[in-house]
Structure 1
Amino acid sequence: MTAPQGPLDQVRNEIMRVMGPEIEARFEQLTPIIARALNRNVPLEEVRIPPPAATVPAKTAAARTALQAAIALPLSAALGFVADTIGGPDFDLLDGGDWKTLGYGAGVAGIMAVLAFGQRKIGR
């Protein structure tokens, strides 16, 4: 009989399920490098460790973020219109003020895509 798992055990198990193969691959990559350095009496501070390979290109991440924003924007607009319609009698479909908020949301979605692209480029 196994003991019940607490929330931290469940989180640890999920992290190891997702990240375990990547951690193992990185360990296998670094073990020979560190072993050679130790065999040559090189201090570990001087060992050149290669950076991990990026798995998602910046352009792909930016496109994915833009797609997510493109999906979220109409959904949030539709939910906002429904909330305004249900919430009060002052809602007007042809009023420009109600559409300004949608425009601001589109601007934020574009900024998100640009920032995601820049963050991936800078993070390399």
Structure 2
Amino acid sequence: MHKSRSRVNVVERSKPLSVIKGVLWGYIFTAIMILLLTYLLFKFDITESQIYIGIVVTYIFSTIIAGWITGKSIKDNAWIWGSLAGFIYFILLIVGSVIINQQIGAVKEIFTMLALCVGGGTLGGMFS
């Protein structure tokens, strides 16, 4: 009986680490894609709207990756844990944006990004 209780505690403690791992991999993917977008911006004549679309697509795929990795690690209710990974990704994105820009963007834009990040994380969790 003592062993099974210990095993449950280890599994429950690993859930936050699984979410952190998923978010970390999501940000690694984001960094790679932003570097690629930067290269494309300097190499070709890309408009600001095309860069914006590239950034939004990067956020969506990053949260899908974060949700997928989190869901693969946790397995039960993977879509819920994936959505949590997407939400944490969004929070870190907003905090970083506020630190760099010293302001919060438009409210409509923030809610759109929240929906995309949580939706992407949920989708990734569902695919896991």
| TM-score band w.r.t. shorter chain | 0.3 to 0.5
Higher helix share: 2
Q: TM-score of the superposition, structure 2-length normalised?
A: 0.39
